[in-house]
Structure 1
């Protein structure tokens, strides 16, 4: 037995070193992470700190604009990495605020589902044959419906416009996504680029949606309150499965479906800033976040899908349309504000 132990000693020593080396390599280091609520819960962070010996400083944001402000206010020197969706990522790359990621240094990318390993097939991640982010979590903007008011699940976004549900439809209060929704209704293959001649038709679609809607929500918790209090029939779920989980937790009998036109979907990734002080530690964080435990936390606590296992909210054949930069964010939001205020089409489109 002693001889066998001696034979295995080099293997045991190697295994021990593999466990200890990360602690030695990162002990005393600080990792500065900018993330969304639910992406870095205290117990998840603590496990990473214990494994690496590093200390993690988490700063949370609640909007894309705040994220932009925090990264740009000191030319990305205040954080090592951050979570950002693929459409927003396009703002950071040309400004040189993020750096290419060596995916070979993140072995857990091999645990991801094939569609998330094929980075070139995801709009916005790869530029000049270099990857600038690693997919982490996502959610689609499906339709949530009250099972008591639908004999069968709605299979099209046209249900949002159905006069049968007038005054019982909840819509997200955002011009960017709503104009993409209108473009889908018009049959556009690229809902993120509204052609000049299509603006009047898109506005008419959203004016009709306004007339059919009960109200417009901003935060997911707000949508739950409206759905419950007003006995809503249908909800355009800007936060997708996250809202499903919240509504079910509130005791509501709701279903969730992806329309036949496909669902707009955001994909949040981890990106490393040009101000990162310890590239290896930032890579270790991304690698850790792709392990099963953090991924399960996302699903069980937030209702958000991870990139290493199939989402229980989706079915084979469901089509997701990853968000891309739109032709004019400011114009979309301006026109939407006029639509919500009750203006007619000619005033909405006025210069």
Structure 2
């Protein structure tokens, strides 16, 4: 998926406490972390002097894009692990790049993480070797998109919800349901928008969970053929009323500013931009719940620099570094103490730590044939099926 570029511009916070926790890693032992066998490290050894990261834009900032935004340099200075990084624009791109074996660490969204695990490209992690893991919100740990068979496959980074955005002049009262983009989409035909990705099929599934309970959908990423076809049919009906699908956030901002779009899926950070420009828009989390993302830092199964990789996972999970990275990008932090280091009001804007709010979010997960809802009597449609169907939906 194409993700939003960094929006917040905030100077680097103090990172002393984060570095202190990293220093503890060197005392964990002399055995190298991951030996390439796909098993979690038992102990750590000396840092190798470098680490290669693959991440969304805005997750690995070293002052190049903005001299005031740099959480990489302090990490390098304290650990001696020189960071090289590459950014990617979609989860599919990240998945393919990890197959090159050139990267020690990847920041993966839920629509890529299980694919990486299934392909053997990432290894489970020993969270005992990551001191800052303890400070991560419990509701983000050991979830279906970042763990398998009781083993953690990374460290949560940031998270957010896909919200319903609406023009307040067209909707004087906030909509309470996603029906305004599905069953009632004809009322604003041509001015409805939706996120341009196969994973958007899950948004239709969330809606059907509440409005067609006889389908028996328990997880919007675990759809058998009948359930999947119902979601596809709903999106094909919606297609007639879509003015434009979006993946570039700037295009959605422009469409709502001009009035070409009046309702559709969006992100809180987009609303923050529109609110700042005085546009008549607002966002809400409808009664059916919604989809969203929770990104995970994962270590390559054959990482060339596993000890520096573990050091990075611990550092970026620290309150200070996590605060900088997630605010710069525009999302809620994963570390409970990170809000102490973010600008006033930013955590509230993204509902950081609000477990009740977070419980309404179905975080992106990779659809696989083995149903994520636990069913064993049927097969579910995997991501390749979702990709094929999305092409048919858009026409």
Compute the TM-score of the two structures, normalised by the length of structure 1.
0.80
Closer, same or farther: CA 20–283 of 1 in aligned 2, 3 Å = closer
| Aligned 1:163-312 pairs, distance under 5 A | 163-177=186-200, 179-187=201-209, 188-237=217-266, 240-309=267-336, 312=349
2:137–2:334 Cα contact (<8 Å) kept: yes
Q: Secondary structure at the match of 1:280?
A: helix
Over the aligned positions, Cα root-mean-square deviation in angstroms equals 2.8
Q: Secondary structure at the match of 2:57?
A: coil
Q: How far apart are 1:249 and its partner, in Å?
A: 4.7
**1:96 lines up with 2:120 in the alignment:** yes
1:329 corresponds in structure 2 to: 383
Supply the distance in 2 between the matched residues of 1:299 and 1:253 (Cα, whole angstroms). 26
Supply the distance in 2 between the matched residues of 1:262 and 1:252 (Cα, whole angstroms). 25
2:170 corresponds in structure 1 to: 149
Q: Secondary structure at the match of 1:295?
A: helix
Supply the distance in 2 between the matched residues of 1:20 and 1:211 (Cα, whole angstroms). 57
Compute the TM-score of the two structures, normalised by the length of structure 2.
0.72
**1:47-105: CA deviation from partner (whole Å, max 9, x where unpaired):** 211222221001111111111111113xx3x1111111234222222332212211111
Q: How far apart are 1:22 and its partner, in Å?
A: 7.8
| Aligned 1:64-103 pairs, distance under 5 A | 64-73=91-100, 76=101, 78-103=102-127
Unaligned runs of 5+ in 1: 1-16, 342-351
Closer, same or farther: CA 97–209 of 1 in aligned 2, 3 Å = same
Q: How far apart are 1:250 and its partner, in Å?
A: 4.4
**1:280-311: CA deviation from partner (whole Å, max 9, x where unpaired):** 32122111112223222234322211112466
Q: Secondary structure at the match of 1:333?
A: helix
| Aligned 1:54-65 pairs, distance under 5 A | 54-65=81-92
1:344 corresponds in structure 2 to: none
**1:208-256: CA deviation from partner (whole Å, max 9, x where unpaired):** 211222211122222122222334221212xx23433343454434322
**1:119-163: CA deviation from partner (whole Å, max 9, x where unpaired):** 2xx114333432111111122211122233322322211121323
Q: Secondary structure at the match of 2:297?
A: strand
1:345 corresponds in structure 2 to: none
1:38 corresponds in structure 2 to: 58
1:298–1:305 Cα contact (<8 Å) kept: no
Supply the distance in 2 between the matched residues of 1:96 and 1:339 (Cα, whole angstroms). 31
Supply the distance in 1 between the matched residues of 2:355 and 2:130 (Cα, whole angstroms). 29
1:169–1:214 Cα contact (<8 Å) kept: yes
**1:157-212: CA deviation from partner (whole Å, max 9, x where unpaired):** 112132333222211122332x2222223223222233323455333311221122
Supply the distance in 2 between the matched residues of 1:126 and 1:70 (Cα, whole angstroms). 21
**1:256-282: CA deviation from partner (whole Å, max 9, x where unpaired):** 221211111221101111222333321
Which of the two has higher C-alpha Rg?
Answer: 1
Q: Secondary structure at the match of 1:170?
A: strand
1:138 corresponds in structure 2 to: 159
Decide which moves more: 311-320 or 268-277: 311-320
Unaligned runs of 5+ in 2: 1-19, 28-44, 63-69, 210-216, 337-346, 368-380
Q: How far apart are 1:30 and its partner, in Å?
A: 0.9
Supply the distance in 2 between the matched residues of 1:129 and 1:213 (Cα, whole angstroms). 41
Supply the distance in 2 between the matched residues of 1:151 and 1:262 (Cα, whole angstroms). 21
Closer, same or farther: CA 102–328 of 1 in aligned 2, 3 Å = closer
